[in-house]
Amino acid sequence: MDLKNDFLSILLNKAGKQSVESINDLRDKEFSGLKLSPEERFALSNYDRYRISVLNAQTDKEKFHYKYRQLQVIANLSDWREFIGREFSQQ
C-alpha cells in the first residue's frame, strides 16, 4: 500500500462509518445559498486564518506547494468541528 492510500485509510478509520462534513462541504453549503450556523461560520473563519498563517510561514516555493496540498486535503477530509477549538481561534 502506498503512502497516499495509508493516509486515506487512517482518515477513513478515524471518521468511522459516519459521513464527515468538511470545511469544503460548508463552503458548498454557503455557496448554494443555505445559511450557516454561527458555529459553522466560526469554523470557516478559523480555517481561513489558519490556512493563511501556514502558507505565509513557508520560506520556499517547494514547501509552500507541499503545505498548500496538505491544506487542500484537510479542507476536504477533516470534520469542520475540528476548527472550532481554541488552538485555531488564536491564529
The 10s digit of each residue's pLDDT in 30-59 is 999 999 999 999 999 999 999 999 999 999
Whole-number percent of the chain with pLDDT over 70: 74
Burial of 64 (0-12, 13-18, 19+ CB in 10 A): middle
Q: Are 67 and 58 in contact (CB under 8 A)?
A: yes
Helices (H), the chain: 3-15, 23-31, 38-56, 61-77, 86-89
Q: Which residue has the higher pLDDT, 1 or 37?
A: 37
* Cα angle for residues 6, 9, 10 (degrees, 5° grid): 85
pLDDT at 1: 42
